[in-house]
Amino acid sequence: MAIGQNSANPRKFQKSQLKIYAVLIPVALVMIFPILYIVNHAFKPMEELFAYPPKFFVSNPSLSNFYKLIRATVTSNVPVARYLFNSIFITICVLVFTLTFTTMAAYALSKMNFKGRKFLLGLNDIGLMFVAIALQIPRYLIVDKLGIHDTYYVHILSLIVLPVGLLLLKQFVDGVPDSLIEAARIDGAGEFKTFTSIIIPMLKPAMATVAILTFQEVWNNLETSQMYIDTDAFKTFAFYMHTLSSNTNTVAGQGLAAAATLILFVPNVVLFIIMQSKVMSTMATSGIK
């Protein structure tokens, strides 16, 4: 008998795997339906958007919704490129700061002993309990107190904290053997050198997952532009797409909303596909722990 045929994860297909596929395929189809709906809905002409009974798949694909969206953006007072620049700039800044701070915090909370460590871990766990809407009033008061209303700072500072990201990264750092860190210190490496040469390379899967979570939160964010920004030049592409589709009449707005939703959705899918393997590695490691 060939080696590995009875293993839990055989290299070749076996009949015993059919029962696994019988469960996974229906689950995968259910999970992919929302994606298919978003894509099909964006290419539906007006008559199919309001067809009764409604159709899941588009019969006569059309780019009319995208043409209407382009024509609507031309009449905007602020160039669409400015909204897009704002979203890209803010997303990059939040990604850099979030990954930097969360990785450093995860290393400190996992491998360093200092007074207040358990208290800080408890605060992060408490942060996981609150939904975003519960934080709107205290966040607004903090923003007003700091005087960063209607600036880029409010976009960045209000989104760089990600408790679930810190939790994932800390779990990964917990799995790093203390012997590696001790060996690096014996060789004369300081804390920063140990962090950059040992911890960061081992954290790449978890960092990819945190990057995806952060990207989704920032790229699709509407609340910051709605609550803290008055000047249109500082608002984001997601807010502009939402406003454009909601400010038109109900009939025409459906097509614009469908096209705008697809445009905002595509970057999330592309990023997830690129980093899929690292995300799966993160989930597997988190599940084992």
15-68 pLDDT, tens per residue? 777 788 888 888 888 888 888 888 888 888 888 887 778 778 888 888 888 888
Q: Is 105 a domain residue?
A: yes
Q: Is 5 a domain residue?
A: no
The pTM assigned to this predicted structure is 0.78
Q: Which residues contact 117 (CB under 8 A, 6 or more apart)?
A: 109
> In the structure encoding, which two tokens stand for residue 82, read together?
């400015």
Integer Cα distance of 239 and 33 in angstroms: 26
**Residue 151 belongs to domain spanning:** 80-288
Nearest partner of 211 among 107, 99, 104, judged by Cα: 99
94 and 55 in one domain? Answer: no
Q: Give how far Cα 93 sits from Cα of 11, 69, 97, 127, 228, Å.
A: 42, 28, 6, 22, 18
Integer Cα distance of 61 and 52 in angstroms: 17
135 and 31 in one domain? Answer: no
* Average of per-residue pLDDT across 221-246: 85
210 and 115 in one domain? Answer: yes
Q: Supply the mean pLDDT for the chain.
A: 82
Amino acid at 157: L
| Number of separate domains in the chain | 2
